[in-house]
Amino acid sequence: MKKFISLVLATVLFLTSALCAVPASANAATLKLKSVKAELVSTGVDSSITSAVSSIVKLAAEYGLPVVAGTVSGPGGAFLGAAGGQLVSLAADKLNDIASSIGRKFPDELYITVNGGKVWPSGKSEDIYNGQSKTLNIEKNFTTTAKVVLWERDSISSDDNLGEYVFKPNSETGEYMLSNVDEGSVYFLDVAIN
């Protein structure tokens, strides 16, 4: 009788565990990063620099120094931008537009991470310009979430987050916009989720 009860209990435990267990693959998904397009690369101009120069231009106008036709004139002449020795004329109301324009002439040094691990490119980063697309063909398996972050490598300070998105197994296949207002960046990421 003891053998029979033990056998029944073992069978009940086995069936219960089989019915209650969810296979590990039931919630697993594969994220395929197909391509990335830079709609707008980051401005490349630190907002603190932009703010400081804007304040200087405003103070110059308040103290009566001529700020005429988008240039700072008087002692010292025009502002010489650091971007390749390019001469930049400033107007307080247009400073952000000018800074963005200068910065966007240079590419972002793009790399991509998924859940904190670098997945693209094989080197440190890859240059990408406004309107340019890159084929990725990267696949990552995940169970609960896959956080994709687009980064710009920065050799002077910490790397810049250009945009991020957290995918779930039930996320839609298609194109996602990733952006960062502080960096002025807008990217489109084409993904498939299986």
> What type of residue is 151?
W
pLDDT-derived band at 149, boundaries 50, 70, 90:
very high
Bridge partners, 127 (sequence order) = 109
Residue 105: per-residue pLDDT: 77
Specify the length of the chain in residues: 194
**Confidence check: pLDDT of 103 > 60:** no
Render pLDDT for 35-62 as a digit per residue (tens, 0 to 9): 999 999 988 665 555 455 455 545 555 6
Render pLDDT for 112-147 as a digit per residue (tens, 0 to 9): 999 999 999 999 999 999 999 999 999 999 999 999
The rounded distance, in Å, linking the Cα atoms of 152 and 104 is 13
- All structural domains of the chain with their residue ranges: 27-44+106-193, 47-103
The rounded distance, in Å, linking the Cα atoms of 109 and 178 is 16
Render pLDDT for 151-180 as a digit per residue (tens, 0 to 9): 999 888 899 999 999 999 999 999 999 998
**Confidence check: pLDDT of 13 > 80:** no
The rounded distance, in Å, linking the Cα atoms of 49 and 60 is 17
User: What is the SS3 string spanning the chain?
Assistant: CHHHHHHHHHHHHHHHHHHHCCCHHHCCEEEEEEEEEEEECCCCCCHHHHHHHHHHHHHHHHCCCCEECCEECCCCCCCECCCCCCECCCCHHHHHHHHHHHHCCCCEEEEEEECCEEEECCCCCEEECCCCEEEEEEEEEECCCEEEEEEECCCCCCCEEEEEEEECCCCCCEEEEEEECCCCEEEEEEEEEC
The CATH class, in words, for 27-44+106-193 is mainly beta
| CA R_g for the chain | 27
The rounded distance, in Å, linking the Cα atoms of 179 and 188 is 9
Q: Which position has the higher pLDDT, 62 or 111?
A: 111
Mean pLDDT rounded to a whole number for the chain:
72
